[in-house]
Structure 1
C-alpha cells in the first residue's frame, strides 16, 4: 500500500465543516474524494482533541 501526502489544513477544515452541517461520513467522503476511514479519523480526532492540525511524531523521519 502506497503512502500518500497528509491532508492539508484546508481539507481537514472542510471535513469538519461538512460534519457540522450534518453531512454523513459517506457523503463527505464522496464529496471530497477521500477514503471514509480518513474522514472518520479526522472527525474522531477533532471530537477528542479539539484540533485538526497534524500532531508532531516521535522518531526519526524516513529517507
Structure 2
C-alpha cells in the first residue's frame, strides 16, 4: 500500500535528484550520438532533464550537482510577508537584506 505522500509525489511530479550513474549514462548516450528524445525514452526521464544535464556537462565538464543558492527563496518570502507595505519600504528591506 502506498502512502499518501508517495501518491502525491507521483501525481504532482515532485523533483528528485538523479544519481551520478544516471547522469553519466545520459552523457554516455549523448556521446554515442543518441538524440535527447531517444535518451529520454531509454532512461525514462523528461527531455528537459536530459537537455539540462547535457548543457551543464558542456559548460562545466562535470555531471556532479552544483550547490544551490538560497537567496531567491529568502527574498521571495520577504516580499510575500510585506504585501501591505508600500513598494519603497519593500525595496529598502531587500537592499538591507543583500
TM-score bin, normalised by smaller chain: 0.7 to 0.9
Higher helix share: 2
Segments of structure 1 that go 5 or more residues without pairing to the other structure are: none
Runs of 4+ with >4 A deviation:
none
- Number of positions where the alignment pairs a residue of Structure 1 with one of Structure 2: 60
Q: CA RMSD in A?
A: 1.4
Unpaired runs of 5+ residues, structure 2, are: 1-11, 72-98
User: TM-score by structure 2 length?
Assistant: 0.57
> What's the TM-score, normalizing by structure 1?
0.87
Distance (Å, rounded) in 2 between the aligned partners of 1:6 and 1:31: 18
Structure with larger Rg: 2
